[in-house]
Structure 1
Amino acid sequence: MNSYWSFIKAEIKAATPSILSYLYYLQYVGVGALVFYGLVVLGAQLFVFLRSAKWVALSLTEMISRIDYDWIVSQWAGAPQSWLGLHWLLSQIPASVAFFGCAVIWVIAWVSAVAYRRSKVIHLESAQ
């Protein structure tokens, strides 16, 4: 019975690097999705503009209000009763810029975390 648990622990240790590499590559998917959504929103706006010569501005609050009306945040985005200043601020941010901005922030945080982890590994290796 003890050897069984030793085998399980060894398998978990062997699988840990592959799980971490999977999560590492999942970052690419997340950032790619945010950039893709930004391009889709921008492309839809451009398509409508080229067709009708009228620019349809999609703000962040408009996008949030169209997600799911049962969600309390989307209800607030559609008809705010409080936090009016925040609603005004979010209504000034174009949805495509918000998607691109989130992708940039994600990449910056990701690169910073990787650099911090590498500096810790280098520091630990030099201490040995």
Structure 2
Amino acid sequence: MATEVWLTEKYYEEFHERKDNVFSDDQAIEVYKDTQTLRANWPQCVHQPPPEVGTRSGLYYVKFKWPTCQLRICFGARRENGVDKIIALTCRTKQELSKGNSNGDREWYRHIDTHGVDYWDSYRRGLLKSWKIYP
């Protein structure tokens, strides 16, 4: 069964805004490699998510823990015309969400519940630009 990975315009902007400022090119490559692993193991993750895949508000997320930061990526998943699609919606670092004095985990869930859900709705209505990166 084929699984495609798509990026939304919002995710692309957020990821590249943080790359080089918060994490390195090597860490970005790690994100791409882990995306390939996630793609290879999908759709089993839907029925039995591994520990590195979380769920919230009908969306999924993964975390990357590096010495410099903890990057979190929120994505949606759907099946269209017999093809499973993983769609990257938004990303943030735990540090920027915590703003130094609040709980980064709680703020991440709030971010998913607001921005993630909004972007997912916009994507499904065709209002958010997206493109396929892994066929």
TM range (shorter): under 0.3
Give 1 or 2 for the bigger CA radius of gyration. 1
**More strand per residue:** 2
Normalized against structure 2, the TM-score is what?
0.24
**More helix per residue:** 1
By relative contact order (CA 8 Å, sep 6+), the higher-ranking structure is 2
